[in-house]
Amino acid sequence: MYGLTLIAILTITGGAIAYIGDKLGTKVGKKKLSIFGLRPKHTSIIVTIITGILITASTIGVLALVSQDVRTALFGMEALAKQLSTLNQEVTGKNAELATSRAALEAKNAEYTALTLKVKDTAERLSAITEELSAVMAQRDRTARELQQTQADYAVARGDLGKAQQAINTLQDTKNQLDKRVQSLNEAKVTLQEDVDRLNQLTTRLGQGIQVVREGSIIYRAGEVLSTVILPGGESKSDTERALAEAIYDTNQHVIDRLGIEDRSLNVLWIAQADFDKVATTLAKIPQDAIVRITANGNTVYGEPVIGQINLFPNNRIYAKGETVQMAVIDLGSKTEQPEEAVMSFLRKVNVTAVNKGILPDPIQGTVGAMNGAEFYDTVNKVKRYNKGKVMITATAKEDTYAVGPLKIEMHIQGGAE
């Protein structure tokens, strides 16, 4: 419906201008008017040309006035082309990293398959030697029994001493050979068992390596704060961009320390140029200090660059020193109210109130401050002094607190509250 209306407007406007031009040309022709000393015929032609120009100009003007796409096509095409080129380069880099990771995974899988086959072959050899060892030991036992029987026969039949002695020597030699064979097989079994254990350990480590390649060890979680700085607003664009670039550089160095990288010239933190330009432009326009918080845009696996996101917040003063943050009454006479649980519940309410008031919470934990154990249990002990009755708990700000936080509070306990 909108398109039909626009076409109708353009048609009516063009027709009106053409009609007026035609009338003016006719009038000029009839009255033989002259412009710039030209002949009336040429003057009529100029009026017709001007009419055509007005039709074209009015058409383009109306389209540009009512359509953002037309304005973009006329005046913003070069900027869109540059942005598209930048995004294509980023996509190309990501595809190259993905291809490298896939090649590493395929190499690990091939190595894992080869080791698995080797372990299987070694296990089969160990099984065969174990069976042979069992057979040799059984033969040795039979030989030992035969030797004992022969020795018994020798004791009984001394008359055939030479023959019996020869049989004994033969059986003794056979037993010695079998003992040596058993010892050799036992040593081979121990060696093969050590090889199997070593290969199993190597297979386990390789499997863990493949798991790390597939899933990765998460260094930063999505939304985790990498750094927070306060930058002045209302500065020149060049000064603002320089200050913002320094904040990103310091954050990059912090990430390098976290990852344990020796080369401090690496750019492990990636910020989109469009985000940088947008934040720099906004910061240069606001007339007050602002909080610049750089967070991880997604879960980051060890070995991957950290994709960062810049967030900008006004650093307004939220609480003045001594200002009340939260008040609550605890009924110690109620069986359901326990001092520790009551104080903890009160602190949760303080956190919710501070967040609603404008203090920036930690994106992961959602907290705006922390109370150490000594302060917490000191507050609990003060509450416990009132065995029964109602107790008023008041939390006030220790100092002027701005949106960047953290919020530091003082706890005040008052008995006999109604």
d(CA 52, CA 41): 17
160's tokens: 């055939």
Torsion 249-253-254-256 (CA) sign: positive
In angstroms, the CA 393 to CA 397 distance is 14
Q: Report the pLDDT value the prediction gives residue 199, as an integer from 0 to 100.
A: 52
Q: Where are the alpha helices (DSSP H) in 329-395?
A: 339-357, 373-384
Give the β-pairing of 306-314 and 269-270. Answer: parallel
**pLDDT for res 411:** 85
Give SS3 for 385: coil
Tally Cβ neighbours within 10 Å of residue 354.
Answer: 26
Per-residue model confidence (pLDDT) at position 211:
46
What type of residue is 311?
Answer: N
- Kindly report each contact of residues 382-389 with a partner whose C-beta sits within 8 Å and lies 24 or more positions away, as own/partner: 382/411, 382/413, 383/330, 383/332, 383/339, 383/342, 383/343, 383/413, 384/339, 385/415, 386/332, 386/415, 387/332, 388/332, 388/333, 389/331, 389/332, 389/333, 389/415, 389/416
Q: What is the pLDDT along the chain (418 residues), one digit of tens a residue?
A: 555 665 666 677 767 776 776 666 676 666 665 666 666 667 667 777 777 777 777 777 776 676 676 666 666 667 777 878 888 888 888 888 888 888 888 888 888 888 888 888 888 888 888 888 888 888 888 888 888 887 777 777 666 667 767 777 888 888 888 888 778 777 777 776 776 665 565 455 444 444 444 445 678 888 888 888 888 888 888 888 898 889 889 989 888 888 887 878 888 888 888 888 888 898 888 888 888 888 888 888 777 788 888 888 888 888 898 888 888 887 766 655 577 888 888 888 888 888 888 888 877 777 777 777 777 788 788 877 776 667 888 888 888 888 877 888 888 888 765 5
Q: Which residues pair with 229 in a beta bridge?
A: 292
Assess contact for 154 and 171: CB atoms under 8 A: no
Q: Are 268 and 306 in contact (CB under 8 A)?
A: yes
Q: What is the pLDDT of residue 140?
A: 85
CB 333 within 8 A of CB 388: yes
Burial environment of residue 185 by CB neighbours within 10 A (0 to 12, 13 to 18, 19 or more):
middle
Residue 217 has which token pair?
A: 């060890």
Q: Which residues contact 56 (CB under 8 A, 6 or more apart)?
A: none
Q: What pLDDT does residue 50 have?
A: 77
User: What pLDDT does 271 receive?
Assistant: 85
Residue 347's pLDDT is what? 85
pLDDT given for residue 202 in this prediction: 45
CA distances from residue 191 to 109, 136, 186, 198, 289 in whole angstroms, order as listed = 27, 19, 9, 11, 72
C-beta of residue 294 within 8 angstroms of C-beta of residue 275: no
What lies within 8 Å, CB to CB, of 145 at 6+ separation is none
C-beta of residue 411 within 8 angstroms of C-beta of residue 393: yes
Q: How many residues does the chain have?
A: 418
Give 241-306 as a DSSP string: HHHHHHHHHHHHHHHHHHHT-S-TT---EE--HHHHHHHHHHHHHSSS-EEEEEEESS-EETTSPE
Backbone angles phi, psi at 268, to 5 degrees: -90, -10
What residue has token string 């896939």? Answer: 102
Q: Which of 345, 336, 335 is nearest to 379 (CA)?
A: 345
